């Protein structure tokens, strides 16, 4: 049976994405067909709104309240990163809701593809963590075009049995002892910004010319040490599990997945600071007016404390709804690096902000990856 047929046969049994990955691992299939599976669409009735999101957020645990109200899940289409999503929307794709991370909102607002969100239509708005109601760059000219749905940290997940370090630092990603066994996330925010943090930039999201030059030199020095750049956390997790990688820049969900598999890993608290990210929901300018009520109900479902409990327990991310943390056992929170007070962790990291001079930095990053 070829890989594609196997995937289709597994998915026809109604498996969740998480169950599917476990089945692949058990069968020894690996992720050879990951590109086939990474960006599918999930179709419902035409009167349901269309959400354009990261793969995985279509799991029923994220929108149970919506399903209960309307008897069916919404429609989904998936993107690999926000650059891909932005290009597709600019080319004419018309979702009702999208799910970019906060640092992209100034760009999306300037492009005129978003509409203002009326938070009075969201029953869970008053439950949102106060600091997440005012994420930098998401309220422009007094208009809120984005609401935070979840947050987490970008740091290094490393094998404690294979790595010998005296001090936790981003410098591990430049440690020549582990040449060929390191991996970085293939994105500007998780690549260049990490180099900027390690370089000691005063503001890694708005670096001076001298700081950019220093970050570029670090990236050039790092390139021959890497096994690969990747934006597939599944591939990275499998490589960490097998020992092919000993350390990789990941989000905290990868750490949780590996711990659940019984692997000796740690999610680093680098002395220079981990990076805190936030992602959320936007209402698109070209959203179908006939579906606007359902679109608001869908956003509201993603902001519910029940959704937050699901995401905290299953993914290890923080959620925007403060009540969600009271629904999770304190020991389970601690195992995920969280507490009953989400601001404890939010304030402890370097909070992602819109990137200054992004086109220049993106061009520089591509040059480095190409070996220049």
Q: What is the pLDDT of residues 189-244, one digit of tens each?
A: 999 999 999 999 999 999 999 999 999 999 999 999 999 999 888 999 999 999 99
Confidence of residue 40 (pLDDT cuts 50, 70, 90): very low
Q: Which residue has the higher pLDDT, 39 or 141?
A: 141
The β-bridge partners of 183 are 228, 248
Domain boundaries, the chain: 38-145+277-348, 152-274+352-369
Give the pair of three-digit tokens for residue 191.
Answer: 């690549």
Among 39-43, 137-141, 283-287, the range scoring the smallest mean pLDDT is 39-43
Contact 126, 85 (CB under 8 A): no
**What tokens appear for 52 in the block?**
């354009």
Q: What angle do CA 151, 155, 159 make, to 5 degrees?
A: 130
Per DSSP, the three-state class of 208 is coil
Is beta strand 247-251 parallel, antiparallel or unpaired with respect to 182-185? parallel
> What is the mean predicted confidence (pLDDT) over 109-114?
97
CB contact at 8 A, 311 and 209 = no
**Choice between 22 and 347, residue whose per-residue pLDDT is larger:** 347
Question: pLDDT band at residue 11, thresholds of 50, 70 and 90?
Answer: very low
The answer to whether 128 and 320 have CB atoms below 8 angstroms apart is yes
Q: Could you give the 3-state DSSP secondary structure of residue 281?
A: strand
Tell me what the mean pLDDT of segment 53-73 comes to: 95
DSSP class of residue 170 equals G
Burial of 28 (0-12, 13-18, 19+ CB in 10 A): exposed
8 Å CB contact between 207 and 365: no
Q: How far is CA 91 from CA 88, 114, 138, in A?
A: 5, 15, 23
> Average of pLDDT values for 93-110?
96
Which CATH topology does 38-145+277-348 take? D-Maltodextrin-Binding Protein; domain 2 (3.40.190)
pLDDT value, residue 348: 80
By the 8 A CB rule, do 239 and 245 touch? yes
The least confident of 130-134, 245-249, 335-339 is: 335-339
Q: What is the pLDDT of residue 18?
A: 41
pLDDT tens readout for residues 145-171: 999 999 999 999 999 999 999 999 999
Q: Is the pLDDT of residue 133 over 60?
A: yes
Is-contact 248 239, C-beta < 8 A?
A: yes
At 312-362, the pLDDT tens digits run 999 999 999 999 999 999 999 988 888 999 988 888 889 898 998 888 999
Confidence of residue 283 (pLDDT cuts 50, 70, 90): very high
Taking each continuous run of H as one helix and of E as one strand, the counts in the chain are 16, 15
Q: What band does 44 get if pLDDT is binned at 50, 70 and 90?
A: low
pLDDT computed for residue 80 by the predictor: 85
> Considering the domain 152-274+352-369 in this protein, what is its CATH number?
3.40.190.10
43 pLDDT band, cuts 50/70/90, is: low
């Amino acid at each position: 049976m070829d890989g594609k047929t196997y995937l289709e046969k597994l998915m026809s049994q109604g498996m969740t994405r998480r169950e599917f990955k476990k089945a692949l691992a058990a069968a020894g299939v690996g992720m050879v067909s990951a590109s086939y599976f990474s960006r599918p669409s999930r179709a419902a009735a035409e009167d349901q709104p269309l959400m354009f999101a990261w793969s995985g957020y279509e799991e029923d645990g994220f929108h149970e309240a919506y399903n209960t109200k309307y008897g069916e899940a919404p429609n989904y289409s998936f993107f690999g990163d926000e650059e891909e999503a932005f290009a597709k929307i600019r080319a004419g794709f018309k979702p009702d809701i999208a799910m970019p991370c906060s640092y992209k909102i100034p760009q999306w607002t300037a492009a005129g593809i978003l509409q203002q969100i009326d938070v009075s239509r969201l029953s869970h708005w008053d439950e949102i963590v106060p600091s997440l109601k005012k994420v930098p760059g998401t309220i422009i000219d007094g208009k809120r075009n984005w609401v935070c749905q979840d947050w987490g940290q970008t740091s290094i997940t490393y094998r404690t049995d294979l790595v010998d370090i005296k001090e936790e630092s981003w410098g591990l990603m430049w440690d020549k002892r582990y040449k060929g066994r390191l991996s970085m996330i293939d994105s500007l925010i998780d690549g260049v910004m990490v180099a900027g943090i390690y370089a000691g930039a005063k503001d890694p999201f708005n670096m001076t010319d001298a700081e950019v030059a220093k970050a570029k030199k670090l990236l050039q020095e790092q390139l021959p040490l890497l096994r690969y750049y990747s934006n597939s956390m599944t591939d990275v997790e499998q490589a960490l599990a097998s020992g092919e990688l000993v350390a990789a820049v990941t989000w905290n969900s990868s750490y949780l997945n590996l711990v659940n598999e019984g692997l000796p890993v740690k999610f680093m608290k680098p002395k220079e600071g981990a990076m805190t990210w936030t992602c959320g929901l936007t209402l698109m300018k070209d959203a179908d007016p006939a579906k606007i009520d359902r679109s608001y109900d869908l956003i509201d479902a993603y902001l519910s404390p029940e959704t937050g409990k699901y995401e905290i327990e299953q993914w290890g991310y923080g959620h925007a709804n403060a009540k969600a943390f009271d629904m999770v056992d304190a020991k389970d929170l601690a195992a995920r690096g969280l507490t009953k007070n989400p601001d404890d962790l939010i304030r402890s990291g370097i909070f992602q902000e819109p990137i200054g001079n992004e086109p220049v930095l993106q061009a520089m990053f591509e040059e480095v990856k190409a070996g220049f």
